[in-house]
Amino acid sequence: GDSVTQMEGPVTLSEEAFLTINCTYTATGYPSLFWYVQYPGEGLQLLLKATKADDKGSNKGFEATYRKETTSFHLEKGSVQVSDSAVYFCALGHTGARKGGSEKLVFGKGTKLTVNP
């Protein structure tokens, strides 16, 4: 079955450091890939997504590129801020003949990021 493996944390960085959180997946077909973020005490919010190979998703300074050849979707940010402290989840979703949807998301275990001033 489908699965997502992401770098286990916790990850602790100083403000303005470079961030990479690795994510690889196993799936049949051509899934859409997502990064969700969970701030303390809140639900998950979509951070960015990519729906086909070589797509780059970006938002709030975060980026991830859908790499089919390496089945990866690594999250990066060039300069993290204290406000980026959260748990980050990589996920994949199969949409069948439909594109862009996220039915039956499969999640990684999450990576907790703490950014210190």
Residues that bind another protein (CB under 8 A): 4, 34, 36, 41-46, 49, 89, 93, 95, 98-110
Shortest distance, CB of residue 67 to another protein, whole angstroms?
Answer: 20
How do 111-116 and 86-93 pair as beta strands? antiparallel
Shortest distance, CB of residue 15 to another protein, whole angstroms?
Answer: 26
Smallest CA-to-CA distance from 35 within 10, 70, 6, 13 is with 6
- Select 17 or 63, whichever has its Cβ closest to another protein: 63
Task: Fill in the DSSP letter of residue 111.
Answer: E
Strand, coil or helix: 1? coil
Shortest distance, CB of residue 79 to another protein, whole angstroms?
Answer: 26
